[in-house]
Amino acid sequence: MATKILDLPEEEYMLPGNRACAGCSLGIGLRHILKALGGNCIFAVPASCLTVLGGMYPTSSVRIPWMNVVFPSTGAAASGLAAGLKAIGREDITVVAMAGDGGTADIGIQALSGAAERNANFLYICYDNEAYMNTGTQRSGSTPIGARTTTTPAYGKRQHQKDVPKIMEAHGIPYIATACPSFPTDLYDKVKKAVGKQGTRYMHMCAPCPSGWQFPAKDTVEMGRMAVEVGAVILYEIEDGAFRLTSRSKKLAEQGGLKALRDYIAPQGRFKGMEEETIDHMQAWINRRWQQCIRRDAEGQA
């Protein structure tokens, strides 16, 4: 049964205060991920906004063991941690690799793919703020079409996002899920489920970024909600090959479909001046993915 907000554990593994920007969704996401892990974990984190949030030695904003690793190495570093824990008989501790979209979709994909092919025993969480934010908002493989970044300044990015969960699915790993901090109990339940499994588990968490997406810091939760309601982010899980829509995405599928993409684009400065043709391309891309997901959800339940 799905967890309700009042059922979440009161124990906190994040300390008050961290170095992320005001309104960063990353802290909301990490807080619920750590609640689901119950503190029994070790993190491997490459260079990113998450490193900044975690704190600079000797200060830290989390109450868990945390290893900062080389940017392209996260999958390899987590594989090593898992092998080490196995050697000392401590497989009860969950190894969590947590990296940004640049560190996952582009620079870390080789180490991640190799680890997933070996079915190395860790949970990998990509938080997707849709650009290289920590170094000043450069485009990544996960930046959406039409978004302006410092490396796509004129017309915005010309390509669609790379579908990393789909790439991970091709590895035949036991668990894949998408999530968004604006739906914290869905995120919590998925991490809990992933922790109960062995082998490589992959989660892809949307991470609205007020600084890079250019919206007011107070609107972070609403921006994540809208991302799901227009279908820019679709909430699902694939458990041992079976696909299932979850949470708000499941409700949208049952109750009349997605909202208009323009409601999501208009409040974000990164999409300012986006050409009509590009909006149509993005809408068509979303519609195609949404129809695929609805079909797969129906098949998964047949």
Q: Which residues in this chain contact ligand SF4 in the complex, by CB under 6 A?
A: 20-21, 24, 26, 49, 129, 133, 207, 209-212
Cβ within 8 Å of residue 280, ≥6 positions away: none
The single residue among 36, 49, 69, 96 that binds ligand TPP, judged by CB under 6 A, is 49
Task: Give Cα separations from 274 to 98, 151, 268, 284 (angstroms).
Answer: 32, 16, 11, 15
Per CB under 5 A, 146 contacts Mg ion: no
Q: Should residue 100 be labelled a site residue for ligand TPP when binding is judged by CB under 6 A?
A: yes
Would you say 32 and 187 are in contact if contact means Cβ atoms under 8 Å apart? Answer: yes
- 229: enclosing H helix or E strand: helix 220-229
Residue 47 within binding range of ligand TPP, rule CB under 6 A = yes
Does the footprint of Mg ion cover residue 100 (CB under 5 A)?
Answer: yes
Question: Does 101 help bind Mg ion (rule: CB under 5 A)?
Answer: yes
Phi-psi map region of 101: left, alpha, beta (phi>0 left; psi -120 to 50 alpha): alpha
- 135 touches which of ligand TPP, ligand SF4, Mg ion, none (CB within 5 to 8 A by kind)? ligand TPP
The C-alpha angle with vertex 125 and arms to 124 and 127, in degrees rounded to 5, equals 150
71 binding partner (options Mg ion, ligand TPP, ligand SF4, none; Cβ < 5 to 8 Å by kind): ligand TPP
Q: Scanning the structure block, which residue is given the tokens 């200060």?
A: 59
- Is 147 near ligand TPP (CB under 6 A)? no
Q: Is 129 in the site for Mg ion (CB under 5 A)?
A: yes
Contacted by 185, from ligand SF4, Mg ion, ligand TPP, none: CB < 5 to 8 Å by type: none
Strand partners, 237: 177, 244
In this chain, which stretch among 4-12, 47-55, 85-93, 184-192 interacts with ligand TPP, using CB under 6 A?
A: 47-55
Q: Please tell me the distance from the alpha carbon of residue 106 to that of residue 135, in angstroms, as a whole number.
A: 15
Asked if 134 touches ligand TPP (CB under 6 A), the answer is yes
**Minimum distance from residue 94 beta carbon to Mg ion (Å):** 23
Q: Characterise 145 by phi-psi region: left (phi > 0), alpha (psi -120 to 50), beta (else).
A: beta
141: partner contacted, choices ligand TPP, Mg ion, ligand SF4, none (Cβ within 5-8 A by kind): none
